[in-house]
Amino acid sequence: MIISRIIGFESALPPFTVTNDDLAKIVDTSDEWISSRTGIRTRHLTADQNTSDLCIIAAEKLLKKAGWAPESVDLIVLGSVSPDYTTPRTACLVQEALGCKNAFCFDLAAACSGFIYSLSVADKFIKAGGVKRALVLGGETLSKITDWSDRSTCVLFGDGAGGVLMEASEEGGILCEDIHSDGSKGMALTAGYRTNKSPYYKGEPKSSEFIDMNGREVFTFATRKVPESIKTVLEKSGTAMEDIRYIVLHQANTRINDVIARKLKAPAEKFFTNIDRIGNTSGASVPIALAEMNEKGLLKKGDKILISGFGGGLTWATMLIEL
């Protein structure tokens, strides 16, 4: 049986960081409010890079460390809701920069679940037999779709990118997944609404570039659906919580992760978190966390880890991976 093995974890963060005190100079907020409600203390924000720039840095590191020739990559999938262009897509910009000329490339927009959705899609191409090697990325420059006068959202987000390489294998890799969407609650978290501007369009022209979120609704959704999803993956795969080395959740809010840990009755040490330094980087948060864990030597061959993303759509997705 073909299994998609995951090789290498890398990330790229803009060098410029902004503290909660810095934000208190531009909106009516405080370090106390932000850190106690979210766990966030600082975040990286791009001063001159776009989403593709960060993705290219992460992808270059991945290929270099694995010793993969760029031409050997068959597929690039990139989870993002903040691409450089509507077209060409960021995955194509990465392809061009790296010289992955044999890959077919596309972006996948599933907000904070985007990286895990992308892993799932790449996994299916690998299992179907047409793809042997895939580059899967999550990259965001949310700062360009953030309303910097809205204190309820601008304190939450950060910019960054991360990713992994995937290869057809006979052992390890993606063992089980649980993936969902609920469009009926989609208006709880929106960005980038646009109506038509053609001379033939009869409706009211309207656009809203920025992220708009009902934080409470998203909080309730995440703390209800993510534990369910994790339990489903454990049951479907016949895996006990004790066999899981780490759980890496989308880094949206420390309080969300604490509630999820309580509901799962899982010890806090199983949950990796870096939200204090990174903020919420949407589709990039899970691969950025994995890259940091790898850098710190926390990811060991044979370990089973759970990764879970949740957010806009609404979407949520959990995956069990054997390293």
Task: Give the residues lining the site for ligand UT7 (CB under 6 A).
Answer: 29, 33-34, 37-38, 112, 151-152, 155, 215-216, 218-219, 222, 252-253, 256, 280, 282, 311
Question: Shortest gap between Cβ of 41 and ligand UT7 (angstroms)?
Answer: 13
Give the neighbor-by-neighbor strand order of the sheet with 173-181.
Answer: 173-181, 315-322, 304-311, 246-249
From residue 68, give the alpha-carbon distance in Å to each of 61, 166, 279, 291, 312: 11, 11, 31, 18, 34
Given the residues 92, 112, 154, 176, the one annotated as active site: 112
Question: Shortest gap between Cβ of 72 and ligand UT7 (angstroms)?
Answer: 34
In the residue annotation, 105 being an active-site residue is answered as: no
Beta bridge partners of 238: none
Question: Shortest gap between Cβ of 10 and ligand UT7 (angstroms)?
Answer: 22
Is 52 or 280 the residue whose CB approaches ligand UT7 more closely? 280
Is 155 or 319 the residue whose CB approaches ligand UT7 more closely? 155
Report the C-alpha gap between 296 and 298 in whole angstroms. 6
Is 92 or 137 the residue whose CB approaches ligand UT7 more closely? 137
Question: Shortest gap between Cβ of 67 and ligand UT7 (angstroms)?
Answer: 35
> Letter for the amino acid at 153?
T
Given the residues 20, 253, 257, 280, the one annotated as active site: 280
Report the C-alpha gap between 223 and 255 in whole angstroms. 9
Report the C-alpha gap between 307 and 244 in whole angstroms. 11
Q: In the chain, which ranges are continuous DSSP H helix?
A: 20-23, 31-38, 51-66, 90-98, 114-128, 151-154, 215-237, 254-264, 275-278, 285-295
Is 221 or 246 the residue whose CB approaches ligand UT7 more closely? 221
Question: Shortest gap between Cβ of 253 and ligand UT7 (angstroms)?
Answer: 4
> Letter for the amino acid at 186?
G
Given the residues 44, 250, 253, 257, the one annotated as active site: 250
Is 8 or 283 the residue whose CB approaches ligand UT7 more closely? 283
Question: Shortest gap between Cβ of 282 and ligand UT7 (angstroms)?
Answer: 6
Count of C-beta atoms within a 10 Å radius of residue 273:
16
Residue 239 burial (CB < 10 Å; 0-12/13-18/19+)? middle
Is 280 or 308 the residue whose CB approaches ligand UT7 more closely? 280
Report the C-alpha gap between 87 and 258 in whole angstroms. 39
In the residue annotation, 112 being an active-site residue is answered as: yes
Instruction: Report helix angle 51-66 to 90-98, nearest 10.
Output: 50
Residue nearest to ligand UT7 (CB): 215
Which residues are the active-site residues? 112, 250, 280
